[in-house]
Structure 1
Amino acid sequence: MREIIQNELNDKDLLLFIHSPFCGTCHVAEGMLRQIETTLDKDIFFHMNASLHESFMYEHKIESVPCLFIRENGETRKKVYAFHSIANILSILLEQKPELFDRMS
């Protein structure tokens, strides 16, 4: 997982983990996403400190953190606020971004 830079926020396709460094739930969610990256053996998520990108938060109507923001072809596909389990996040990714799992078949 790597920190996003300003010009990457405009990318058409994006898997962005939005967090606050003072949020305990965010730390748990980040651990789940890191485990998914380890399982897939590739970095697929960007991460962003919500307090440093207020305009992005407002423009995309991000309601709370943690949030997994999924954008494809320039359109917001999904905003995930509840990180129930790794299996739950994997099922969302399989539904929204099945190409991530092509190599695993």
Structure 2
Amino acid sequence: MICMKEWNKQMERGVIYIYTPFCGTCSVARAMLENIERLHRQDIFYEMNAAVHPEYMHDNQIESVPCLLFVENGEIVERIYTFYSTANIYDYLIQYQPELFSNVT
């Protein structure tokens, strides 16, 4: 099974999944993201436990969990709080990570 990579502060580009361990909605969101990683057979998302990084949450004005952050050049370019569906997440991935789809046959 593919496992999400742990977030690091120096990340220049990527997608960060922010959660808390006992959040039911976070569990549903995680399942969507794990399905996407399983389909692509690679790690796509970084993960961050909000409870362990309160300063990051405050400094970056993260309002709630689950949250998906799209980071470009070290800056947050998009925050997603409502995941809706796997298809919805794919819409964002197509926009921010198009290289994931360049080798699809």
| TM-score (ref. length: structure 1) | 0.91
Q: Determine if contact 1:71/1:78 at 8 Å carries over to the other structure.
A: yes
Between stretches 59-68 and 8-17, larger displacement belongs to 8-17
Q: Which protein has the bigger helix share?
A: 1
Q: Determine if contact 1:3/1:48 at 8 Å carries over to the other structure.
A: no
Q: Determine if contact 1:18/1:66 at 8 Å carries over to the other structure.
A: yes
After the TM superposition, which parts of structure 1 deviate over 3 Å for at least 4 consecutive aligned residues? none
Matched residue type, 2:13 = D
Quote how far apart the aligned CAs of 1:9 are: 2.1
Quote how far apart the aligned CAs of 1:10 are: 2.1
Q: Determine if contact 2:36/2:86 at 8 Å carries over to the other structure.
A: yes
- Structure 2: which 5+ runs fail to align? none
Quote how far apart the aligned CAs of 1:3 are: 4.6
**Percent of pairs identical after alignment?**
42
1:59 is aligned to 2:71? no
Aligned to 1:4: 6
What is the distance in 1 between the residues matched to 2:101 and 2:94? 7
Aligned to 2:13: 13
Give the secondary structure class of the aligned counterpart of 1:32. Answer: helix
Quote how far apart the aligned CAs of 1:21 are: 0.7
- Structure 1: which 5+ runs fail to align? none
Aligned to 2:71: 71
Matched residue type, 1:69 = L
Aligned to 1:103: 103
- Count of residue pairs brought into register by the alignment: 103
Quote how far apart the aligned CAs of 1:59 are: 1.2
Give the secondary structure class of the aligned counterpart of 2:77. Answer: strand
Matched residue type, 2:60 = H
